[in-house]
Amino acid sequence: MQKISAFLLLLLLIGLSGCEEKTADDAPMPVENTTEVSPQKETDPQEETESSKQKISEIETGANTFILRDTKAFPYKVTISNEKVIFHENAKPIVLINLFATWCPPCVGQLSHLNDLQKKHEKELFIVGILTHDAMDESLLKTFLAKNNLHYFISNSPYNDAFATLLANTLQEPENFDIPLTAIYVNGQYFTHYEGVVPVEMIEYDLEQAKKQL
């Protein structure tokens, strides 16, 4: 009986733990000290719409500014300044950023809960998934999104890792931080963040508290 209890406890700990970032030769990723990040230059004309091209041409990037894209090639200009994070094309006051990878079981297990939160708080909440150290092929990512029935913005931009590293740095996380790493911002200002998987009820409670600041 004691062996069975110990085994169940081990499974629970594995499910609740985060995944260590996957880097080349297990080396920690350096902090990105960029002074300017330009929009992606190499694009597939069949994937990118004319409206997306127009949006990109109108965006001027600067220090700590990134262009994040989803599988539909829609771009978001994002600026990180100290603890402040602004998604310039987003009008919703609460932003939840989730750094994750498809090779991380705890990350994948959390996605359906985030999907539910996006539906429940659609008017106020903008959820952003950032693939971190996970260079998944575009077609495979589309299959993954369809399989998991995900309907919120998930960036597969070449600037994801630089963005994730800088964001983690503002959260005072180590360079080789664990994922999933989730942060909530209200009107661009830092509200709270979570290291690893946390109960969805905790996130739900914090979202309700965030709404009170609106």
- Report all structural domains of the chain as residue ranges with CATH numbers, in order of start: 65-214 (3.40.30.10)
Tens of pLDDT along 106-131? 999 999 999 999 999 999 999 999 99
The pair phi, psi for residue 12, each rounded to 5°, is -65, -45
Q: What is the pLDDT of residue 73?
A: 82
Band of residue 22 on the pLDDT scale cut at 50, 70, 90: low
For residue 93, give both structure tokens.
Answer: 């006051």
Q: Report how far residue 24's alpha carbon sits from residue 158's, in angstroms, rounded to the nearest whole number.
A: 16
Cα dihedral 195→197→201→203 (10° resolution): 40
Tens of pLDDT along 147-175? 999 999 999 999 999 999 999 999 999 98
3-state helix, strand, coil in the chain (%, to 5): 35, 25, 40
Q: What is the pLDDT of residue 12?
A: 43
